[in-house]
Amino acid sequence: MPSQQLDMEVMTPLIENPGGGGQEEENSEEDQDPELLPVRHYELGNSHQGITFTQALIHLLKGNIGTGLLGLPLAVRNAGVIVGPLCLVLMGVVCVHCMHILVHCSHHLCERLKRPPLGYSDTVAFSMEHSSYQCFRKSARFGRHLVNFFLVLTQLGFCSAYFVFLAENIKQVVEGYQGVNITLADESLSFANTSMVPAPVPLPTMVPSEPWALDLRLYMLFFLPFLILLVFMKDLKNMAVLSLLANVCMAVSVIIIFQYITTDFGDLQRLPLTSPLGKFPFFFGTAIFAFEGIGVVLPLENQMKEPKRFPTALNIGMGITIVLYVVLATLGYLHFGDDIKGSITLNLPHNAWTNQMVKILYSFGVFVSFAIQFFVPAEIMIPPVQARLRKSWRAPCEMILRGLLVCLTFSFAVLIPRLDLVISLVGAVSSSALALVFPPLVELITFSDRPLKPAMLVKDLVIAVVGFIGFLAGTYVTLAEIVSPEVIREAAQNLTVAADTTVAGALGMSEELGGNWTTPTAAVTLG
C-alpha cells in the first residue's frame, strides 16, 4: 500500500505555486554555503523518503499508458501500415528527447539559482525570468500561466475523452448482452416451432424483443453523478485501493486484447502502405495524445531518492512504452483493418464473455483514472478562487467548482461524442504544445546566456516548428471533421488527386527524357 500512496503523491508536485517567482529569500541558508551550488536541493531532502528507481519506472509506465494506447491502431490506419509504425517510433524518440530537455533545463536552473525542485511551469517561468533577453524576462509570468493553461486544458481533455470512452464501451456491453439474449430467444422459438409436438399458442416469453437503442449521450449522463461524487474525494491517498484495482484491471484487459488480435491478421495485401496525406494530421493528434506522460516527468524526478538515475529510468520506461505502442497499434490494425474504431475495445465482438469483460475492466480503470487526471486542473483553478472568499464559504465553493468542472468535461464530450475526434483534438491542441513545442524553446531560452551550438539551435527549432505545424494542422482537420465532415473529405481527395497528378507528371517527364523509371504501385499509393 505505501507504493500506491506514492503513486497518488506523484500528482501533487504538478501543482505550481503561483507566487513561486518571488521566494528567493527562502533559500538564504543555501546561498550562504557555496558548496551547495553543484548539489541539487532535493537530492539531500529525498535521500530517505523518496521513491526508488523501480517505483519511478512503474510510475512512468502508468503515466503514459491509458486510453491513448487503445486508439493507436486507428492512428496507424490514418498513416498507413508502413508509415504509421515508423512515425510512431520517430515521434516517441522525439518526445523522450524533449523529456530529457525538460529535466536538463530544470537541473541547470536549480544549480544556477540554488532553488528547490522545479515543476513544468516553474521551469518555464524561471528560464524566461533569468534569460539574457529583456523581452523574455518581462514575459516570465505569462509563460507560467501559459503552461498552466495547457496543463489544465490537457487534463480536462483527458477527462472528456474518458466520458466518451466509458459511454461507448458500456453501451456496447449493454447492447451485446441484449443481443445474446435475443439470439437465445430466437433459437428457442425456432426449436419450439419445429418440434414434433406443435405448440398451440406461441409463448410470450419466447418472443425476442428489440434491444435498447439509447443515445450515447444518455450513457454519458448516467456516469455524470458518479464521476461528480468521485472527484469529491480530494485526498488522493484515499484512492490507493481503487488505483491498485484499476491498474490490475487495465493490465488484464491489455493482455486479453493482445491474445485476441494475434489470432488472425487477415489478408495483409488489403491494407495500404500509406494513407491520404489529408489524414496524417489525425494520426499526429492521436499519437501525441498517447505520449501523455511529460507532465509527470519532473515530479517523478524530483521525488527520486537518486535523481541522477532518472534518465536511465526514463529511457527504459519510455522504451517499453514505445515498443508496446508500436506492437499494439500495428497488430490491431492488421487484425481489424480499415474497420478499426476510436478504441480497439469497440472492435471486440460481443459473442465472447472475455471481450465483454475487457470493456468492463478497462472502463473501471478509466473511471478511477478520471479522478486522478482531474486532480491537476482542480488544484490549479480552485485555490485562486477560494482565496477571494470567506473561510466559511471555501469548502462549499470547492464542491460546487469541482462539480461544475466535471459538467464542463461532460458538455465537451456531449458536443463531440466521437472518441477518435476527442482524442485527436486534445492531442493536437494541448499535448503537442506540452510535449513538442515548449521543451525545445525552453532549452534555447535557458542557455541563451552562452553561445548556442548551431546543431542544438537547428534541432530545437525543427522540433518546435514541427510541433507547431502539427498543432495547427491537427486542430484544423479535426475541427473541420467535427463541423463539416464533407469538407475535410473533399480536401483530402483534392490533395490525393494533386499528389497523383504530380507523380504522373514526373513519370511522363522521365519518359520524355528517355528515362527508364519504374515505380511500384504500392509505393505511390496515397489513398
**What count of Cα atoms within 13 Å lies in the side-chain half-sphere of residue 11?**
27
Amino acid at 287: A
* Weakest mean pLDDT among 198-202, 229-233, 405-409, 458-462: 198-202
% residues pLDDT > 70 (the chain): 75
- What is the rounded distance in angstroms from the CA atom of residue 476 to the CA atom of residue 115? 41
Higher pLDDT, 354 or 208: 354
The confidence score (pLDDT) of residue 459 equals 94
Residues 6+ apart with CB under 8 A from 37: 111, 114
- Looking at this protein, which amino acid is placed at residue 251? A
Q: How far is CA 455 from CA 132, 280, 448, in A?
A: 21, 28, 14
Distance between CA atoms of residues 463 and 469, nearest Å: 10
Q: Tell me, what's the pLDDT at 252? A: 92
Work out the average pLDDT over 8-30. 43
Q: What is the CATH number of domain 53-185+214-497?
A: 1.20.1740.10
Q: Model confidence over 91-123: pLDDT tens digits? A: 999 999 999 999 999 988 988 888 888 888 889
Which pLDDT does position 49 carry in this prediction?
Answer: 64
The rounded distance, in Å, linking the Cα atoms of 51 and 304 is 5
Could you tell me which residues are beta bridge partners of residue 51?
304
Q: 45 Cβ partners below 8 Å, 6+ apart?
A: 116
The per-residue pLDDT for 385 is 87
Beta-carbon contacts of 315 under 8 Å, excluding residues fewer than 6 positions away, are 96
390 falls in which pLDDT band (50, 70, 90)? confident
Residue (of 337, 299, 297) closest to 313 by Cα position: 297
Q: How many percent of the chain have pLDDT more than 90?
A: 31
* Cα distance between residue 18 and residue 145, in whole Å: 9
* Sign, Cα dihedral of 272, 436, 243, 228: negative
Contact 157, 150 (CB under 8 A): no
The Cβ of residue 319 has, within 10 Å, a number of other Cβ atoms equal to 13
Residue 9: pLDDT over 70: no
Domain range list for the chain:
53-185+214-497
The pair phi, psi for residue 393, each rounded to 5°, is -90, -10
CA–CA distance, 380 with 11 (Å, rounded to integer): 12
pLDDT computed for residue 497 by the predictor:
53
Copy the grid coordinates of residue 442: 525552453
> d(Cα 113, Cα 478) in Å, to the nearest integer?
42
Sign of CA dihedral 180, 181, 186, 189: positive
Task: Report, in angstroms and rounded to the nearest whole number, the Rg of the chain calculated over CA atoms.
Answer: 26
Query: pTM of the predicted model, to two decimals?
Result: 0.75
Helices (H), 12-133: 28-31, 41-45, 53-64, 67-70, 72-77, 83-113, 120-129
Amino acid making up residue 428? A
Q: pLDDT (tens digit, 9 = 90+) per residue, 50-62?
A: 778 888 888 788 7
Q: What is the mean pLDDT of residues 259-268?
A: 80
Whether 443 contacts 101, CB under 8 Å: yes
**162 Ramachandran zone, left/alpha/beta (phi>0; psi -120 to 50):** alpha
Q: What is the pLDDT of residue 440?
A: 94
Cβ-based neighbour number of residue 185 at 10 Å: 15
The chain-wide mean pLDDT, for the chain, equals 78
152-207 pLDDT, tens digit each: 998 899 899 999 999 999 998 888 777 655 444 444 444 445 444 454 544 444 34
pLDDT of residue 220: 92
Q: Whole-angstrom Cα distance, residue 469 to residue 281?
A: 9
Mean pLDDT of the region 270-290? 86
CB 140 within 8 A of CB 126: yes
The pLDDT score that the predictor gives to residue 243 is: 79
